[in-house]
Structures are given as C-alpha cells and as structure tokens.
Amino acid sequence: MTLDMLVEEIQSLSIKQRKQLVMAILDSLTDEQPAKTRDIKEFRGVGAHLRDMDAQEYVNQLRSEWDERP
C-alpha cells in the first residue's frame, strides 16, 4: 500500500476514528528507549591524563581553547 492509498483510506474514516488513529500514532512516537544508565566504574581512568595538572591550569587551558573556536 502506498502512502497516497493510505491517506485516501484515512480520509474515509470518521472524525472519531481519525482522532483515535492520531492518538495511536502519537503514542507510538513517544515509546523511546530509556537512556542507558552507566556504572561509575566505566569512567575509571578517563581523567588519568589530568592527575598531575593543577585544576586552575586545566580550567585556563579549556578557556583558551574556547577562545580559539570560530
């Protein structure tokens, strides 16, 4: 069935049936997968390169990178 054929079929429905169809379509669009929760252990070692860096030095470095962006 093509989209045009489907639209013709929908137009032949009663207003009540079309409203039910719209609600069913909207319900199907909101069924998203919940965001995957992450275990804190997954982040082990992510900041290892920052271990010996001063916090203020790191912030200053980030800010200078922001200034360089277009």
Query: What pLDDT, on a 0 to 100 scale, did the predictor assign at position 19?
Result: 96
Global pTM value: 0.42
Specify the number of domains making up the chain. 1
Query: What pLDDT, on a 0 to 100 scale, did the predictor assign at position 4?
Result: 93
47 within a domain of the structure (yes/no): no
CA gap 15, 35 in Å, rounded: 36
Weakly modelled stretches of the chain, pLDDT under 50:
none
Residue span of the structural domain in which 3 resides: 1-30
Query: Could you say which DSSP state residue 64 is in?
Result: H
**H helices present in 12-54, as ranges:** 15-29
CA gap 18, 11 in Å, rounded: 8
pLDDT tens sequence across 40-54: 999 998 888 888 889
Query: What pLDDT, on a 0 to 100 scale, did the predictor assign at position 69?
Result: 74
40 within a domain of the structure (yes/no): no
49 within a domain of the structure (yes/no): no
| All residues at 6 or more sequence positions from 13 whose CB lies less than 8 Å from its CB, including other chains | 21
